[in-house]
Structure 1
Amino acid sequence: MMQDIQKTSPDARQEFAFSDRDFRMISELANARYGLFLQPSKKALVHSRLAKRLRALNLGSFEDYCDLLNRTEGDSEQTHLLSALTTNVTHFFREVHHFEYLKTVIAPTLTAKAKSGDAVRLWSAACSTGQEAYSIAATLLDIDPELRKYDVKILATDIDPQVVKTARDGLYPAEQIQAIPENWCRCLTRVATARADEFEMDNALKAMISFGELNLIADWPMQRCFDVIFCRNAAIYFDKTTQARLWQRFAAALGNDAHLMIGHSERLSGPAEADFKSVGITTYQKQTTNKHRDKGDEN
């Protein structure tokens, strides 16, 4: 999951001139391709982030960098641009109230649904390096370890292929594992890797999760309705219009009475407000009939 670029303040040395035109070109490209909304107040921060890319590419100016981004041979740079403009800050069981609600309120219903023979689908829609998705899986297996035998799947997606690879590998620094509450640890078999300071997620958790790349403002290939969607600290990157459209799309992707979890600094807005009722801290339950999706398989 992503954090607001304004919360990072590296030293912005004017090694490269960065004109308003350069900033506008990068802002427009980031908005068109990724939905990122870069306010003028972020110009210095964008400069300091992207100056590293200019050095790495041996470019002499931001004008050269903008030119590269708009050429076919610059396609591979898009990933680096995205990574530079977003900060993936996350940890296991972040915003723990969501996982407590999942455990105490939602999971019993999902367990009954799975054991009745129905499919259960959850979506970590801005999964970053994967801690959120693994926390969801651990919460479900803590309720009932037998769930791994049923049709229960977690789709975990992010726009950044680099963080998706980290998530799929499931290797994390020891200090992150140590932060997991003791009562959850039995769900997380800790396997030391060749590097003593890294741990690998248990295969039982990995088996429940499908990781993939997905741009939230582009088309979504999934057709089956979800029972729960986590999308936390991603909408803060979008302007109000894009946010409202995203909430509507989530409403359409959720089944009746399904749940949506969003970030602590985010709020539902636009027409989708009528589709949800608040049931907890940044936790919402869909209350309208989903007429948009109802068949097919996906993840």
Structure 2
Amino acid sequence: MKSGTLAAPAAITDADFQKFAEFFYRKTGIHFDDGKRYFVDKRLLDRIAATGAESFRSYFVALRFEADGAEMQQLVNCMTVNETYFFREAYQFDCLVNNLLDEVAARKPPGSRIRIWSIPSSTGEEPYSIAIYLLERWPKIDQFDVEILSSDIDTTVLSSARRGVYSPRSVQNLPPAYLKKYFTRHGHDEWAISRDLVSAVEFSRVNLSEAADTRQFRDIDIIFCRNLLIYFDDLSRRVAAEALYDTMSPGGFICLGHSESMSRMSSLYTVRRFPDAMVYQKPQ
């Protein structure tokens, strides 16, 4: 707390919460309802205290008018949820190597580029899982220039992903042979992923609600966007679905989380049912 200022507030009022939730929604597309009050209030109070602001009002004014966006990024980092592990919902990775990549490859000459985008990256388990699947289970990997891109709105998890060090829980679903091949012991009980795999993934910060952020992505053949849009409301889901559509190559595929349905967000995509998974496709 700054010298000579009043103590930071002990609670966030209903009006404060509504004002903050509307602002955060406009900035990120993430919708907080009253059921998220405890989660949001605690983290908001932590940031008010960390900045030394004397009240929610003074913090909120500074947040809205800051020039460099540094505090907004700190707030995003503590308000986003990052729950993941290697080979999570692995049936979609099976679909990737058994069906999706072959369809994409059939449209391209050998040696051409295939682009795969994982968003949100969280701490990196998903894009690194994709890389391992490609190396272990897609026979045509040497015939194409495969790019793996991965993005998140949270800069803290992006730093963690680039570091590539994981807990036993994160790697518990990996076959022992893969763990031995692609990881080394780090400290007492952590695992560090191969630096070759780290260098194979290009990480970047992206806010799906900012058109300028997604405009840099084009000709994406396969997108993994799993368990992100559940935090959006109907409008921001539709905006995100259309932004992702614009990044994709004709005939490209997008995989969502098991509880998400593109048909409820956008009519732009076609449903494709494969033996391992149902995915969505941009018409050719």
Q: TM tier, shorter chain?
A: 0.7 to 0.9
Q: CA deviation at 1:239?
A: 1.2
User: Are the aligned partners of 1:174 and 1:198 in contact in 2 as well (CA < 8 Å)?
Assistant: yes
Unaligned runs of 5+ in 2: 1-8
Separation in structure 2 between the aligned mates of residue 232 and residue 223 of structure 1, nearest angstrom: 18
Aligned to 1:206: 198
> Does residue 1:153 correspond to 2:122, yes or no?
no
Aligned to 1:53: 47
> Does residue 1:190 correspond to 2:183, yes or no?
yes
Q: CA deviation at 1:52?
A: 2.3
Taking structure 1 as reference, are residues 76 and 148 closer, same or farther at Cα in structure 2, changes over 3 Å only?
farther
Separation in structure 2 between the aligned mates of residue 112 and residue 203 of structure 1, nearest angstrom: 31
Aligned length: 274
Separation in structure 2 between the aligned mates of residue 183 and residue 115 of structure 1, nearest angstrom: 33
User: Are the aligned partners of 2:249 and 2:282 in contact in 1 as well (CA < 8 Å)?
Assistant: no
Alignment counterpart, residue 284 of structure 1, candidates 257, 279, 282: 279
Q: CA deviation at 1:22?
A: 1.1
Unaligned runs of 5+ in 1: 1-14, 290-299
User: Are the aligned partners of 2:245 and 2:282 in contact in 1 as well (CA < 8 Å)?
Assistant: no
Q: CA deviation at 1:227?
A: 1.5
1:39-118 counterparts in 2 under 5 A?
Answer: 39-72=33-66, 75-109=69-103, 116-118=110-112
Alignment counterpart, residue 23 of structure 1, candidates 17, 20, 23: 17
- Taking only aligned residues, the RMSD between alpha carbons, in angstroms, comes to 2.8
Taking structure 1 as reference, are residues 265 and 284 closer, same or farther at Cα in structure 2, changes over 3 Å only?
same
Aligned to 1:216: 208
Alignment counterpart, residue 252 of structure 2, candidates 258, 262, 276: 258
TM-score for the superposition, normalised by structure 1: 0.81
Q: CA deviation at 1:287?
A: 5.1
Aligned to 2:262: 268
Q: CA deviation at 1:210?
A: 0.4
Alignment counterpart, residue 228 of structure 1, candidates 222, 227, 242: 222
Q: CA deviation at 1:78?
A: 1.2
User: Are the aligned partners of 1:257 and 1:285 in contact in 2 as well (CA < 8 Å)?
Assistant: no
Separation in structure 2 between the aligned mates of residue 43 and residue 119 of structure 1, nearest angstrom: 45
Q: CA deviation at 1:286?
A: 1.6
- The letter for the 2-side match of 1:201 is I
Q: CA deviation at 1:256?
A: 3.1
- The letter for the 1-side match of 2:194 is D
Query: Identity across aligned pairs (percent)?
Result: 29
Separation in structure 2 between the aligned mates of residue 284 and residue 132 of structure 1, nearest angstrom: 17
TM-score for the superposition, normalised by structure 2: 0.84
Separation in structure 2 between the aligned mates of residue 138 and residue 114 of structure 1, nearest angstrom: 22
User: Are the aligned partners of 1:260 and 1:283 in contact in 2 as well (CA < 8 Å)?
Assistant: no
